[in-house]
Amino acid sequence: MVSSDDGVPRHVRPAGMDDATVQALGLLSQALETAQRARGRLYEFHQLIGGADRMVGEAVKALREAGHGEQADLVEREVQGADVLQGADVLMWTFQVVEAYDDGCHRRFTGVEQLVCEALADGVGHIAEAGTDKRGERH
């Protein structure tokens, strides 16, 4: 069991906490972890699109050098630097998508998970995981 800086063990199930609450908190924790993975993929998407856009710029230059100005203009106008999300009310680059997710869904989810953990488990996280052995069995 890992201890905090003051030597008090962390991840200890508060006295009187029932199994149903431990299970519910474990599910919420797993959901947040999955959302964290999705957040990482969103950042990966942002970086991949940026790399693709740089390659598009190289393709535009190569098309021009090969004497295909009309096609270079088309790619430059329609693809290079284009917003990734388009709709009636929103035009967004990938960094704006990442910011919108971080400022909205991610911040809200992590904040609510923390509030629930504080209310039901005295702020102690990962109680469900800490209550299993190395084989994944409860003890």
Per-residue pLDDT reduced to its tens digit, 72-87 = 999 999 999 888 877 6
* 3 domain-assigned: no
* 6 domain-assigned: no
Average pLDDT, the chain: 86
The count of structural domains within the chain is 1
Residue 139 has pLDDT above 50, yes or no: no
Please give the residue range of the domain that contains residue 58.
19-130
* 42 domain-assigned: yes
* 122 domain-assigned: yes
The pLDDT assigned to 77 comes to 95
* 14 domain-assigned: no
Phi-psi region of 4 (alpha: psi -120 to 50; beta: other; left: phi over 0): beta
* 104 domain-assigned: yes
* 116 domain-assigned: yes
Instruction: Find residue 38's DSSP bridge partners.
Output: none
The pLDDT assigned to 88 comes to 58
Pick from 17-31, 95-109, 121-135: least confident: 121-135
* 9 domain-assigned: no
Per-residue pLDDT reduced to its tens digit, 12-65 = 778 788 889 989 999 999 999 999 999 999 999 999 999 999 999 999 999 999
The pLDDT assigned to 65 comes to 98
